[in-house]
Amino acid sequence: MSSVHPGMSDEQLLRYSRHILLEELGIEGQEQLLAAHAVVVGAGGLGSPVALYLASAGVGHITLVDHDEVDATNLQRQIAHNLERVGQAKAVSAKAAMLAINPELRIDARVQRADAALLDDLLPAAQVVLDCTDNFATRHLINRASVRHRVPLVSGAGIRFDGQLSVYDPRDAASPCYACVFPETDGLEETRCATLGVFAPLVGIIGTLQAAEALKLLSGMGSKLVGQLLMLEAREMAFHQIRLGRNPDCAVCGGTH
C-alpha cells in the first residue's frame, strides 16, 4: 500500500503519529528529524536517555562516541545497558538498545575517545552535537568543534543531586559558547560519580531534557535555552534559570561573530 504522504511510509506515519499530531512539529518537523544527523558524545548516564529518545523520536542518523566499556556499577543509572552487555563497549551496547526500539535508523558506534580530529570529521555533516561527557577536557574539545563548524551544542552535566543544562548555538551572534561560561583556564576541579556518587534519576532527567532540546533544534522549533543555564537541585526538585552573556574576549568564540 502506498503512503498518503510521499515523504514517509505508512509504517512511519503510524510510528510517529503522536509527533505528527503536534501542531508545532507535524509531518514537516518529523521529516526533518528523519533527515537529521546528531552526534552524541558519551553513552553513559546522560547519553543513555539521549540515545534512546533520539532513536525513538526518529532522528535518522545518530553517531555515538564513547571509548568506555559497560561496568556493573553503571547499571544503577545508565539505562541503555544491561547485565548481558557488561564488558561490551558502551557505544555498541547503546546502539543495540536503540535498534531494538527503532531498527530503521542509521546508527554509527564509534568506540574511541572524542578528539579534535574525530569531531572535525563528524560535525560538518551534523545538525547538532550533544555533550554527555563527564570531564572538562572533552567538553572543551566539543565546544571548540561546535564553534569551528557552527553546529549547535546541547550540553548537560549531573553529579550527586545537582544537574545543569544549556544550549550553545554558534549560529546566533548573541549566544555564548561553553568556554564563555566555563573558561578553559579556570582549572575547575573534576567531580566524578565514582567518588561523589550520583542520584540515578538525575542523569535521566538531564539527559531527557538534552534530547528534548536537540529534537526541537532538529525539527525547526528552536530552543529557548540558548543563552540560558538551567540548573536542577533534585533534593528539592527545584529548577533555577540564569541568563548567560557572551564574552567578547573569549579565546574560543570571541572573534567568530
pLDDT tens sequence across 76-107:
999 999 999 999 999 999 999 999 999 999 99
Q: How confident is the model at residue 190 (pLDDT cuts 50, 70, 90)?
A: low
Residues 89, 79: Cα–Cα separation, whole Å? 14
Q: How confident is the model at residue 22 (pLDDT cuts 50, 70, 90)?
A: very high
The neighbour count for residue 205, using CB atoms within 10 Å, is 20
CA angle at residue 31 from 26 to 47, to 5 degrees? 100
- The kind and range of the H/E element at 239 are strand 238-243
Checking if the pLDDT of 4 tops 50, the result is: no
In sequence order, the 6+-apart residues with CB closer than 8 A to the CB of 66 are 41, 42, 43, 44, 47, 89, 90, 91, 94, 110, 111
Q: How confident is the model at residue 188 (pLDDT cuts 50, 70, 90)?
A: low
Q: Which of 77, 99, 81 is nearest to 89 (CA)?
A: 81
In DSSP notation, 115-169 reads -HHHHHHHGGG-SEEEE--S-HHHHHHHHHHHHHHT--EEEEEEEBTEEEEEEE-
Percentage of the chain beyond pLDDT 70 is 93
pLDDT the model gives residue 2: 37
Residues 202, 204: Cα–Cα separation, whole Å? 5
SS3 173: coil
Q: Sheet of 228-233: strands edge to edge?
A: 106-110, 61-65, 37-41, 128-131, 153-159, 162-168, 228-233, 238-243
Domain-wise residue ranges, the chain: 27-243
Rounded to 10°, the helix 26-34/200-218 angle is 110
pLDDT the model gives residue 195: 76
Q: Which of 146, 113, 112 is nearest to 38 (CA)?
A: 146
Average pLDDT, the chain: 94
pTM value? Answer: 0.94
SS3 29: helix
In DSSP notation, 44-102 reads STTHHHHHHHHHHHT-SEEEEE---B--GGGGGT-TT--GGGTTSBHHHHHHHHHHHH-
Checking if the pLDDT of 9 tops 80, the result is: yes
Q: How confident is the model at residue 250 (pLDDT cuts 50, 70, 90)?
A: very high
Q: Which residue has the cell 559497560?
A: 70
Checking if the pLDDT of 154 tops 60, the result is: yes
Q: In degrees rounded to 5, what are phi and psi of residue 172? A: -100, 120
pLDDT tens sequence across 191-218:
666 678 999 999 999 999 999 999 999 9
pLDDT tens sequence across 108-147:
999 999 999 999 999 999 999 999 999 999 999 999 999 9
Q: What is the CATH number of domain 27-243?
A: 3.40.50.720
Instruction: Quote the cell numbers at residue 257.
Output: 561573530
Q: Which of 35, 30, 37 is nearest to 14 (CA)?
A: 30
DSSP 18: H
